[in-house]
Amino acid sequence: MKFFLRLAVLAAPLLLAACGGKDDLDDLALNDTPPEVLFNEGLALRAQGKLRDSTEKFEELDKLYPYSEYSKKSLVNLAYLNYTRGKYTETITAAKRFVTLYPGDGDSAYMLYLAGQSYFRQMPDITRDQAVTRKAAGAFTELVQRFPESEYVPDAEQKLRIVKDQLAGKEMQVGRYYLEKRNYVAAINRFKTVVVDFQTTRHVEEALFRLTEAYYALGVVNEAQTAAAVLGHNYPDSQWYKDAYSLLNKGGYQPSEDSGSWISRAFKSI
- Using 50, 70 and 90 to split pLDDT, how confident is the model at 2? low
Q: What is the pLDDT of residue 32?
A: 79
Average pLDDT in the chain? 90
Averaged pLDDT, 9-38: 56
Averaged pLDDT, 54-65: 94
Q: What is the pLDDT of residue 67?
A: 85
Residue 260 has pLDDT above 90, yes or no: yes
From 61-75, 152-166, 214-228, 237-251, the region with the lowest mean pLDDT: 61-75
Residue 189 has pLDDT above 70, yes or no: yes
From 25-29, 215-219, 260-264, the region with the lowest mean pLDDT: 25-29
Residue 65 has pLDDT above 60, yes or no: yes
Residue 18 has pLDDT above 50, yes or no: no
Show Cβ contacts of residue 18 under 8 Å, excluding neighbours closer than 6 positions.
44, 47, 48
Residue 4 has pLDDT above 90, yes or no: no
Residue 267 has pLDDT above 50, yes or no: yes
- Give 101-166 as a DSSP string: H-TTSTTHHHHHHHHHHHHHTTPPPTTS--HHHHHHHHHHHHHHHH-TT-TTHHHHHHHHHHHHHH
Residue 14 has pLDDT above 60, yes or no: no
Nearest alpha carbon to residue 84 among 119, 52, 107, 40: 52
Query: Please, are residues 43 and 19 in contact by the beta-carbon 8 Å criterion?
Result: no
pLDDT tens sequence across 126-142? 999 999 999 999 999 99
Q: What is the pLDDT of residue 19?
A: 43
How many beta carbons lie within 10 A of that of residue 46, not counting itself? 22
Averaged pLDDT, 18-33: 52
pLDDT tens sequence across 198-220? 999 999 999 999 999 999 999 99
- What is the DSSP-derived secondary structure letter of residue 257? -
- Can you list the domains of the chain with their CATH numbers? 1-85 (1.25.40), 88-161 (1.25.40.10), 182-270 (no CATH)
pTM of this structure? 0.83
pLDDT tens sequence across 75-122? 999 999 999 999 999 999 999 999 999 998 989 999 999 999 999 999
Collapsing DSSP to helix, strand or coil, 30 comes out as coil
CA distance 123 to 119: 6
Q: What is the pLDDT of residue 199?
A: 93
Q: What is the pLDDT of residue 28?
A: 44
Query: Please, are residues 204 and 231 in contact by the beta-carbon 8 Å criterion?
Result: no
Averaged pLDDT, 163-173: 98
Top-confidence residue, 81 or 7: 81
Averaged pLDDT, 170-198: 98
